[in-house]
Amino acid sequence: MSIDAYIEKIIPAVDKFGGFAQPVKFNIGGDIVHIIGKDVTTEDKDADCTITMAPEIFEQILAGDTDPMSAVMEGDIEVEGDSAIAISIQGLF
């Protein structure tokens, strides 16, 4: 999946979720998706929480085949920064 495909999946999810009060950054195999409010960009900006994962894991989460919290516990997702933000992201997808 390309960065454009990630953005296509993330934007409607963020809109439905209501946005993020604090900046969040996803690092998906080196591709960056930064979210603040409902603004989704590919700029590598500072964030209060950075969530790093392989593209395969992100695609499994989007498909509903992988639970994000289980992936964190198994070490497939790394969370840096405010873990409360990461917990709130469970409802994003």
Architecture of domain 3-91: 2-Layer Sandwich (3.30)
Q: How far apart are CA 11 and CA 60, in angstroms?
A: 18
Distances (CA, A) of 27 to 33, 46, 70: 7, 12, 18
Task: Give per-residue pLDDT as tens, 62-87.
Answer: 899 999 999 999 999 999 999 998 88
How many C-beta neighbours within 10 Å does residue 30 have? 9
Confidence (pLDDT) at 87: 87
pTM given for the model = 0.91
Every domain of the chain and the residues it spans: 3-91
Per-residue pLDDT at 90 exceeds 90: no
What pLDDT, in 10s, does the model give residues 1-60? 899 999 999 999 999 999 999 999 999 999 999 999 999 999 999 999 999 999 999 999
Residue among 51, 49, 59, 55 at smallest CA distance from 77? 51
Residue 37: its H or E element: strand 31-37
